[in-house]
Protein backbone atom coordinates (compact mmCIF):
# COMPACT_ATOMS: atom_id res chain seq x y z
CA UNK A 1 0.00 0.00 0.00
CA UNK A 2 1.48 3.36 -1.02
CA UNK A 3 0.33 6.87 -0.16
CA UNK A 4 1.62 10.32 -1.08
CA UNK A 5 3.76 12.12 1.49
CA UNK A 6 4.37 15.88 1.62
CA UNK A 7 7.65 16.51 3.42
CA UNK A 8 8.73 19.84 4.93
CA UNK A 9 11.25 21.90 2.95
CA UNK A 10 14.22 23.14 5.02
CA UNK A 11 16.28 26.11 3.78
CA UNK A 12 19.89 25.61 4.86
CA UNK A 13 20.78 29.30 4.52
CA UNK A 14 17.68 30.81 6.13
CA UNK A 15 18.69 33.69 8.43
CA UNK A 16 16.07 32.61 10.98
CA UNK A 17 17.98 29.67 12.46
CA UNK A 18 15.63 29.19 15.41
CA UNK A 19 12.58 28.88 13.17
CA UNK A 20 14.50 26.54 10.86
CA UNK A 21 15.58 24.40 13.82
CA UNK A 22 11.98 24.18 15.02
CA UNK A 23 10.89 23.04 11.56
CA UNK A 24 13.63 20.40 11.52
CA UNK A 25 12.56 19.17 14.97
CA UNK A 26 8.96 18.73 13.87
CA UNK A 27 10.01 17.04 10.62
CA UNK A 28 12.28 14.59 12.46
CA UNK A 29 9.60 13.75 15.02
CA UNK A 30 6.82 13.33 12.45
CA UNK A 31 8.65 11.82 9.48
CA UNK A 32 12.39 11.35 9.98
CA UNK A 33 12.68 12.83 6.46
CA UNK A 34 12.69 16.32 4.94
CA UNK A 35 13.78 18.17 1.82
CA UNK A 36 16.87 20.39 1.96
CA UNK A 37 17.30 23.38 -0.36
CA UNK A 38 20.10 25.94 -0.77
CA UNK A 39 22.56 23.20 0.15
CA UNK A 40 25.40 24.35 -2.12
CA UNK A 41 25.03 21.69 -4.81
CA UNK A 42 24.32 23.44 -8.10
CA UNK A 43 22.14 21.69 -10.68
CA UNK A 44 25.09 21.79 -13.09
CA UNK A 45 27.32 19.95 -10.62
CA UNK A 46 24.67 17.32 -9.92
CA UNK A 47 24.22 16.77 -13.65
CA UNK A 48 27.95 16.24 -14.15
CA UNK A 49 28.16 13.89 -11.17
CA UNK A 50 25.47 11.66 -12.63
CA UNK A 51 27.13 11.78 -16.07
CA UNK A 52 30.39 10.54 -14.55
CA UNK A 53 28.58 7.97 -12.43
CA UNK A 54 26.87 6.56 -15.51
CA UNK A 55 30.22 6.33 -17.32
CA UNK A 56 31.60 4.21 -14.50
CA UNK A 57 28.66 1.82 -14.30
CA UNK A 58 28.75 1.36 -18.09
CA UNK A 59 32.27 -0.08 -17.82
CA UNK A 60 32.65 -3.86 -18.32
CA UNK A 61 32.15 -5.85 -15.13
CA UNK A 62 35.74 -7.09 -15.18
CA UNK A 63 36.97 -3.48 -15.15
CA UNK A 64 34.72 -2.55 -12.21
CA UNK A 65 35.74 -5.68 -10.32
CA UNK A 66 39.34 -4.42 -10.29
CA UNK A 67 38.11 -2.22 -7.42
CA UNK A 68 36.12 -4.64 -5.21
CA UNK A 69 34.73 -3.26 -1.96
CA UNK A 70 37.38 -3.23 0.77
CA UNK A 71 37.02 -1.38 4.07
CA UNK A 72 33.75 -0.01 2.72
CA UNK A 73 35.40 1.57 -0.33
CA UNK A 74 35.07 0.47 -3.92
CA UNK A 75 32.62 -1.45 -6.08
CA UNK A 76 29.80 -3.82 -5.12
CA UNK A 77 28.09 -5.78 -7.93
CA UNK A 78 24.44 -6.75 -8.29
CA UNK A 79 23.01 -8.74 -5.35
CA UNK A 80 26.09 -8.20 -3.14
CA UNK A 81 24.04 -6.45 -0.47
CA UNK A 82 20.86 -7.36 1.38
CA UNK A 83 19.55 -4.39 3.37
CA UNK A 84 16.77 -6.48 4.92
CA UNK A 85 18.49 -9.50 6.54
CA UNK A 86 15.08 -10.88 7.60
CA UNK A 87 14.04 -11.36 3.98
CA UNK A 88 14.67 -14.45 1.86
CA UNK A 89 15.94 -12.31 -1.01
CA UNK A 90 19.21 -13.30 -2.68
CA UNK A 91 20.22 -9.65 -2.40
CA UNK A 92 19.29 -6.25 -3.75
CA UNK A 93 19.45 -5.79 -7.55
CA UNK A 94 21.72 -2.76 -7.61
CA UNK A 95 25.40 -2.02 -8.05
CA UNK A 96 27.25 0.68 -6.22
CA UNK A 97 30.56 2.41 -5.62
CA UNK A 98 31.70 3.70 -2.22
CA UNK A 99 34.02 6.65 -1.57
CA UNK A 100 35.19 7.13 2.01
CA UNK A 101 36.89 10.02 3.84
CA UNK A 102 39.28 11.87 1.54
CA UNK A 103 41.74 12.67 4.31
CA UNK A 104 42.19 9.76 6.70
CA UNK A 105 44.61 10.44 9.56
CA UNK A 106 44.09 6.96 11.03
CA UNK A 107 45.94 5.17 8.21
CA UNK A 108 49.20 5.99 6.41
CA UNK A 109 47.58 5.31 3.03
CA UNK A 110 44.13 6.49 2.00
CA UNK A 111 41.90 3.48 1.37
CA UNK A 112 39.79 4.94 -1.44
CA UNK A 113 39.93 3.26 -4.83
CA UNK A 114 39.62 5.17 -8.11
CA UNK A 115 39.05 4.23 -11.76
CA UNK A 116 42.00 4.64 -14.07
CA UNK A 117 42.48 8.24 -15.24
CA UNK A 118 43.14 6.84 -18.72
CA UNK A 119 39.58 5.48 -18.78
CA UNK A 120 37.75 8.17 -16.78
CA UNK A 121 40.01 11.25 -16.64
CA UNK A 122 37.59 13.58 -14.81
CA UNK A 123 36.05 11.03 -12.48
CA UNK A 124 38.13 11.35 -9.31
CA UNK A 125 38.21 15.16 -9.35
CA UNK A 126 34.44 15.36 -9.84
CA UNK A 127 33.63 12.93 -7.04
CA UNK A 128 36.07 14.51 -4.59
CA UNK A 129 34.50 17.93 -5.24
CA UNK A 130 31.01 16.50 -4.77
CA UNK A 131 32.07 14.73 -1.56
CA UNK A 132 33.48 17.94 -0.05
CA UNK A 133 30.35 19.94 -0.86
CA UNK A 134 28.11 17.28 0.68
CA UNK A 135 30.29 17.15 3.81
CA UNK A 136 30.08 20.92 4.17
CA UNK A 137 26.30 20.86 3.81
CA UNK A 138 26.03 17.98 6.28
CA UNK A 139 28.06 19.79 8.94
CA UNK A 140 25.97 22.95 8.58
CA UNK A 141 22.81 20.87 8.84
CA UNK A 142 24.03 19.16 12.03
CA UNK A 143 24.42 22.53 13.75
CA UNK A 144 20.73 23.17 13.04
CA UNK A 145 19.82 19.67 14.24
CA UNK A 146 21.68 20.41 17.49
CA UNK A 147 19.56 23.53 17.97
CA UNK A 148 16.49 21.43 17.19
CA UNK A 149 17.50 19.14 20.09
CA UNK A 150 17.86 22.05 22.52
CA UNK A 151 21.63 21.73 22.83
CA UNK A 152 24.39 24.11 21.74
CA UNK A 153 24.74 24.32 17.99
CA UNK A 154 28.36 23.10 18.18
CA UNK A 155 27.37 20.05 20.26
CA UNK A 156 28.41 17.50 17.63
CA UNK A 157 31.82 19.18 17.27
CA UNK A 158 32.32 19.22 21.06
CA UNK A 159 31.62 15.49 21.48
CA UNK A 160 34.03 14.68 18.63
CA UNK A 161 31.45 13.42 16.15
CA UNK A 162 32.76 15.73 13.42
CA UNK A 163 36.46 15.22 14.22
CA UNK A 164 37.34 13.18 11.11
CA UNK A 165 33.72 12.00 10.64
CA UNK A 166 33.02 8.60 9.13
CA UNK A 167 31.41 9.97 5.96
CA UNK A 168 30.79 7.93 2.81
CA UNK A 169 29.54 8.88 -0.63
CA UNK A 170 27.76 6.04 -2.39
CA UNK A 171 26.97 6.09 -6.09
CA UNK A 172 24.13 3.76 -7.06
CA UNK A 173 22.87 2.20 -10.27
CA UNK A 174 19.53 0.40 -10.40
CA UNK A 175 19.12 -1.61 -13.62
CA UNK A 176 16.04 -1.69 -15.81
CA UNK A 177 14.32 -4.97 -16.60
CA UNK A 178 15.38 -7.95 -14.48
CA UNK A 179 13.16 -10.55 -16.09
CA UNK A 180 9.57 -11.46 -15.37
CA UNK A 181 8.42 -12.07 -11.82
CA UNK A 182 5.13 -12.05 -9.95
CA UNK A 183 6.84 -10.57 -6.90
CA UNK A 184 7.64 -6.93 -6.22
CA UNK A 185 11.35 -6.35 -6.72
CA UNK A 186 13.07 -3.65 -4.70
CA UNK A 187 16.22 -1.88 -5.82
CA UNK A 188 16.91 -1.45 -2.11
CA UNK A 189 14.88 -3.54 0.30
CA UNK A 190 13.29 -2.07 3.42
CA UNK A 191 15.88 -0.59 5.77
CA UNK A 192 16.78 2.34 7.97
CA UNK A 193 20.17 4.02 7.59
CA UNK A 194 22.80 3.42 10.23
CA UNK A 195 24.42 6.75 11.02
CA UNK A 196 23.57 10.34 11.94
CA UNK A 197 22.04 11.78 8.77
CA UNK A 198 21.91 10.82 5.09
CA UNK A 199 21.60 13.17 2.13
CA UNK A 200 20.00 11.21 -0.68
CA UNK A 201 17.30 10.52 -3.23
CA UNK A 202 14.76 7.78 -2.44
CA UNK A 203 11.44 6.43 -3.69
CA UNK A 204 9.44 5.48 -0.61
CA UNK A 205 9.33 5.50 3.19
CA UNK A 206 7.44 3.71 5.97
CA UNK A 207 7.16 5.73 9.18
CA UNK A 208 5.89 2.95 11.46
CA UNK A 209 8.72 0.41 11.48
CA UNK A 210 6.98 -2.16 13.63
CA UNK A 211 3.43 -1.82 12.32
CA UNK A 212 2.01 -4.63 10.18
CA UNK A 213 0.99 -4.43 7.44
CA UNK A 214 3.46 -1.66 6.60
CA UNK A 215 2.05 1.48 5.01
CA UNK A 216 4.46 2.93 2.45
CA UNK A 217 4.43 6.56 1.36
CA UNK A 218 5.97 7.99 -1.81
CA UNK A 219 8.61 10.70 -1.60
CA UNK A 220 8.38 12.80 -4.74
CA UNK A 221 11.25 14.52 -6.52
CA UNK A 222 11.60 18.25 -5.85
CA UNK A 223 13.82 20.17 -8.26
CA UNK A 224 16.94 21.49 -6.57
CA UNK A 225 16.29 19.68 -3.29
CA UNK A 226 18.16 16.88 -1.57
CA UNK A 227 16.26 14.48 0.66
CA UNK A 228 17.61 14.15 4.19
CA UNK A 229 16.79 11.33 6.55
CA UNK A 230 17.66 10.57 10.14
CA UNK A 231 19.76 7.45 10.81
CA UNK A 232 19.80 4.90 13.60
CA UNK A 233 22.68 6.52 15.51
CA UNK A 234 20.78 9.81 15.67
CA UNK A 235 17.71 7.90 16.84
CA UNK A 236 19.81 6.42 19.66
CA UNK A 237 21.24 9.85 20.54
CA UNK A 238 17.72 11.31 20.77
CA UNK A 239 16.19 8.38 22.68
CA UNK A 240 13.86 7.71 19.71
CA UNK A 241 12.55 11.29 19.70
CA UNK A 242 13.81 11.65 16.12
CA UNK A 243 12.72 8.89 13.76
CA UNK A 244 15.05 6.58 11.89
CA UNK A 245 12.48 5.78 9.22
CA UNK A 246 12.28 2.65 7.10
CA UNK A 247 12.66 3.32 3.39
CA UNK A 248 13.13 1.35 0.19
CA UNK A 249 13.65 1.87 -3.53
CA UNK A 250 11.06 0.51 -5.94
CA UNK A 251 12.20 -0.50 -9.42
CA UNK A 252 10.13 1.04 -12.19
CA UNK A 253 11.49 -0.96 -15.12
CA UNK A 254 13.80 1.89 -16.06
CA UNK A 255 17.44 2.45 -15.21
CA UNK A 256 18.02 4.80 -12.29
CA UNK A 257 21.14 6.50 -10.98
CA UNK A 258 21.34 8.10 -7.56
CA UNK A 259 23.84 9.16 -4.92
CA UNK A 260 23.67 8.98 -1.13
CA UNK A 261 25.96 10.65 1.38
CA UNK A 262 26.10 8.96 4.78
CA UNK A 263 27.40 11.26 7.51
CA UNK A 264 28.38 9.13 10.49
CA UNK A 265 30.31 10.20 13.60
CA UNK A 266 34.00 9.67 14.22
CA UNK A 267 34.42 5.95 15.06
CA UNK A 268 35.67 6.80 18.60
CA UNK A 269 32.76 9.13 19.38
CA UNK A 270 30.57 7.85 22.22
CA UNK A 271 26.89 7.90 21.36
CA UNK A 272 24.72 8.21 24.46
CA UNK A 273 21.31 9.63 25.18
CA UNK A 274 21.15 13.44 25.19
CA UNK A 275 20.06 14.94 28.50
CA UNK A 276 17.46 16.97 26.59
CA UNK A 277 15.90 13.73 25.32
CA UNK A 278 15.47 11.77 28.55
CA UNK A 279 13.78 12.17 31.91
CA UNK A 280 12.52 10.08 34.84
CA UNK A 281 9.46 9.18 32.81
CA UNK A 282 11.52 8.58 29.66
CA UNK A 283 14.84 7.00 30.68
CA UNK A 284 17.56 6.16 28.13
CA UNK A 285 16.53 3.21 25.95
CA UNK A 286 20.02 2.31 24.72
CA UNK A 287 23.39 1.91 26.44
CA UNK A 288 26.29 4.13 25.31
CA UNK A 289 28.21 2.76 22.32
CA UNK A 290 31.15 3.82 20.17
CA UNK A 291 29.97 5.02 16.78
CA UNK A 292 32.46 2.77 14.99
CA UNK A 293 31.40 -0.36 16.88
CA UNK A 294 27.75 0.23 16.02
CA UNK A 295 28.47 0.85 12.35
CA UNK A 296 30.70 -2.21 11.97
CA UNK A 297 28.06 -4.53 13.39
CA UNK A 298 25.36 -3.15 11.09
CA UNK A 299 27.62 -3.53 8.05
CA UNK A 300 28.51 -7.10 9.07
CA UNK A 301 24.84 -8.02 9.03
CA UNK A 302 24.24 -6.25 5.71
CA UNK A 303 27.01 -8.07 3.87
CA UNK A 304 26.74 -11.43 5.62
CA UNK A 305 26.73 -14.24 3.12
Helix locations, the chain, DSSP H = 17-30, 43-57, 61-64, 123-148, 155-158, 232-237, 291-302
Integer CA distances (angstroms), 303 to 84, 91, 190, 245, 289, in order? 10, 9, 15, 21, 21
Q: Which residue has the higher pLDDT, 30 or 184?
A: 30
Report d(CA 112, CA 74) in Å as an integer.
Answer: 7
**Secondary structure tally for the chain: helices H, strands E:** 7, 15
pLDDT at 190 over 80: no
With vertex at residue 154, the alpha carbon angle to CA 150 and CA 158, rounded to the nearest 5 degrees, is: 110
Q: What is the pLDDT of residues 59-82, one digit of tens each?
A: 999 999 999 999 889 999 988 766
The answer to whether 169 and 99 have CB atoms below 8 angstroms apart is yes
Mean pLDDT of the chain: 84
Backbone angles phi and psi of 94, in degrees to 5: -150, 160
Give the rounded percent of residues in the chain with a pLDDT score beyond 90: 58
With vertex at residue 98, the alpha carbon angle to CA 96 and CA 101, rounded to the nearest 5 degrees, is: 165
| pLDDT band (50, 70, 90) for residue 47 | confident
pTM: 0.86
Select from 231, 258, 255, 256 the least CA-distant residue to 244.
Answer: 231
Amino acid sequence: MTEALKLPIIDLISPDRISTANSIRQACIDYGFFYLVNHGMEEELLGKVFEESKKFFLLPLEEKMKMPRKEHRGYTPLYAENLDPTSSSKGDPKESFYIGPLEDITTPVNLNQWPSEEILPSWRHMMESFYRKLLSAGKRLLSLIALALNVEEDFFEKVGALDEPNAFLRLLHYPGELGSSDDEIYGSSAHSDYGMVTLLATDGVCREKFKQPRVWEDVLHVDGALIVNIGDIMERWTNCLFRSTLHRVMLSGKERYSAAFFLDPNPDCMVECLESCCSESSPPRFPPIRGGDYLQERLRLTYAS
